[in-house]
Amino acid sequence: MTELSDVEIAADARRTVRVFLAAPSLRLTGPADGVFSLALRGRINAVREALLDCGVSVFSTHHDDVWTTRGVGTGMRVPSAFRAMQSADLAIAYVGSPLSAGVGMELGWATALRKPVVLLVDKAVAHSPMISTLEEVSPVLPLEFDTSWTDQQLRHTILTALDWADTSVAYPEAS
């Protein structure tokens, strides 16, 4: 994979996109409960950081309940995750196996609202029929999540997903 320079990443950081990050809930589990591993927690944090590095606003119920850009809240708190999905331009979901009930619900919202969806999936994991048929309802880009990616490779993957979403729907202009 070709490494991106900081200049290329900065040039692409002018996007005015709102991304809803759907993932198993960090708030409901702890590292010792066996449900949400520290490795998975690290992957979700890395995806959020890569999105922020790309200059987009991110909503993640696992981290906060406000739209965030590079660590700073950009507006009022969102009264519900559903409201955040309504105002999102794109949903990016980390899909594990078995599928988290919360992620399943958030993907249901995204497809009902006809949002483009990027699925970050683990290699060689069989997914439920719900996941494999999402593209019949909304534009879907499945991407294999490689745990050996560097931060820069993850950023490149996120930029690829954002570019794909640009061609799937036209984002509203910044106001």
Q: What is the pLDDT of residues 23-47, one digit of tens each?
A: 886 554 555 555 567 777 788 889 9
Output the pTM of the full model: 0.80
Q: What is the pLDDT of residue 159?
A: 93
Indicate the pLDDT class of residue 7, thresholds 50, 70 and 90. Answer: very low
Q: Is the pLDDT of residue 115 over 90?
A: yes
Residue 108 lies in a domain: yes
Residue 61 lies in a domain: yes
Number of structural domains in the chain: 1
Write b or e for each residue in 103-114: b if 16 or more Cβ atoms lie within 10 A of its Cβ, otherwise e. bbebbebbbeee
Residue 86 lies in a domain: yes
Tokens of 10: 């900065």
CATH of the domain at 56: 3.40.50.450
**Quick one: three-class SS letters along the chain?**
CCCCCHHHHHHHHHCCCEEEEECCCCCCCCCCCCCCCHHHHHHHHHHHHHHHHCCCEEECCCCCCCCEECCEECCCCCCCHHHHHHHCCEEEEEECCCCCHHHHHHHHHHHHCCCCEEEEEECCCCCCHHHHCHHHCCCEEEEEECCCCCHHHHHHHHHHHHHHHHHHCCCCCCC
Tokens of 115: 């949002």
Q: What is the mean pLDDT of the chain?
A: 79
Q: What is the pLDDT of residue 164?
A: 92
Q: Which domain covers residue 65, as residue numbers?
A: 6-168
Q: What is the mean pLDDT of residues 148-170?
A: 87
CB atoms within 10 A of CB 131: 22
Q: What is the mean pLDDT of residues 122-147?
A: 80
Q: What is the pLDDT of residue 30?
A: 53
Residue 1 lies in a domain: no
Tokens 């490795």 belong to 39
Residue 175 lies in a domain: no
Q: Is the pLDDT of residue 125 over 70?
A: no
Q: Answer whether 154's CB lies under 8 Å from 50's CB.
A: yes
Comparing 123 with 76, which gets the higher pLDDT?
Answer: 123
Q: What is the mean pLDDT of residues 85-109?
A: 89
Residue 174 lies in a domain: no
d(C-alpha 65, C-alpha 63), whole Å: 7
Q: What is the pLDDT of residue 100?
A: 80
